[in-house]
Amino acid sequence: MDKPERLLLIDDDETFARVLARALGARGFDVSVAHDAAGAIALLRREHPKHAVLDLKLGADNGLALIPQLLGIAPNLRILLLTGYASIATAVEAIKRGAHDYLAKPVDADAIVRALRDDEGDAEIVTTGNEHAPPLRRLEWEHIQRVLVESEGNISEAARRLGLHRRTLQRKLAKHPVRERGSS
């Protein structure tokens, strides 16, 4: 039997952290929870997780500022930044500081697992056989966000890379991200 992957969850919302830790545990992770930067650094040094799910707002601490500190201790740590305050500028800054991905809350545990395991070559572990492919609108939104990050937040450059008129891209960005349907 494979040993569960270690994951550090850093979020100051204790209820959200407890629920998400339980959900990620059910998906094969061994989850440790920290509610602030100091606790996160202590757990990282002690438990050596492979992944970290980090909230942007950590009470008095800032998740963006914590990214380089975490990577300084564990350079191979795969960091996913979560935020309820999504913006292109924040996404670009998170990636520049070393986060591997960025998701806006609300987000479900399956989306987090997909983001953590993306580019690792084992994404098929995430699917259970009864899941459906993400809707086309969701894939389009994610592609636009990826191109924006690659363009360092430059709308004109992103529009050129996407083959869209700048105003068309701005209209698409003005819409809220497409939410995935919950399983019912």
Query: pLDDT tens digit string along 36-77?
Result: 999 999 999 999 999 999 998 888 888 889 999 999 999 999
Q: Are residues 45 and 103 in the same domain?
A: yes
Domain end residue (candidates: 130, 148, 174): 130
Q: Is a pLDDT exceeding 80 seen at residue 133?
A: no
18 and 108 together in one domain: yes
Q: What is the structure's pLDDT at 41?
A: 95
Two tokens, residue 16:
């959200």
Residues 137 and 172 in one domain: yes
- 124 and 163 co-located in one domain: no
> CA-CA distance, 126 to 71, in Å (whole number)?
25
Q: How many domains does the chain have?
A: 2
* Whole-number pLDDT of residue 25: 92
* Average of per-residue pLDDT across 82-96: 78
Global confidence as pTM: 0.64
Q: Are residues 71 and 138 in the same domain?
A: no
Give 2: exposed, middle or buried? Use CB within 10 Å, 0-12, 13-18, 19+: exposed
Residues 12 and 102 in one domain: yes
CATH code of residue 177: 1.10.10.60
Cβ-contact 62, 38 below 8 angstroms: no
> Do 113 and 180 have their domain in common?
no
Residues 87 and 143 in one domain: no
Same domain, residue pair 45 and 123: yes
Which domain covers residue 93, as residue numbers? Answer: 5-130
- For residues 70 and 154, membership in a common domain is answered with no
Shared domain for 82 and 111, answered yes or no, is yes
- Cβ atoms of 11 and 35 closer than 8 Å: yes
| Distance from the first to the final alpha carbon of the chain | 30
Give the contacts of 41 (CB within 8 A, at least 6 positions apart): 69, 70, 73
Q: Rounded CA gap, 37 and 67, in Å? A: 10
